[in-house]
Structure 1
């Protein structure tokens, strides 16, 4: 898997806890023969307020059949299809 380009950057407060949040959205490309899991857990190891949190992540086919939490699907229109 490789990063093709950044799509957007957001600096918004967390929707529940309200602490500052910096999110970067990327367009990725996966090689056809790559062994990439459909889902995985990401445990935050940084020193910020989200240290130790675990995020359950997964790939979803486009177009989405449902909106993503907290409007995180807003940047999908920037993808080259």
Structure 2
């Protein structure tokens, strides 16, 4: 999960940087449309990052507590969600 999260962050940081660089020469409606789409894409990226972080942390908890854990406790950990960070 850590590798997935790191790969996601690296790919999306690079992509968002390339989009921002491309937008620097645009004007008018084109830049407005691309800027709006870019904001949406960044929101989706953040959502994927939050989901990856949640599952990484949940699997860590399950792994550490697995020896004495009942199955329902593991299911409860996967279903619980901490407050997302913006």
Q: TM-score range by the shorter chain?
A: under 0.3
Q: RCO greater where, 1 or 2, for CA within 8 Å and sep 6 or more?
A: 2
Q: TM-score, normalised by structure 2?
A: 0.26
Question: TM (normalized to structure 1)?
Answer: 0.26
Query: Of Structure 1 and Structure 2, which has the larger fraction of its residues in strand?
Result: 1
Tell me which protein shows more helix as a share of its residues.
2
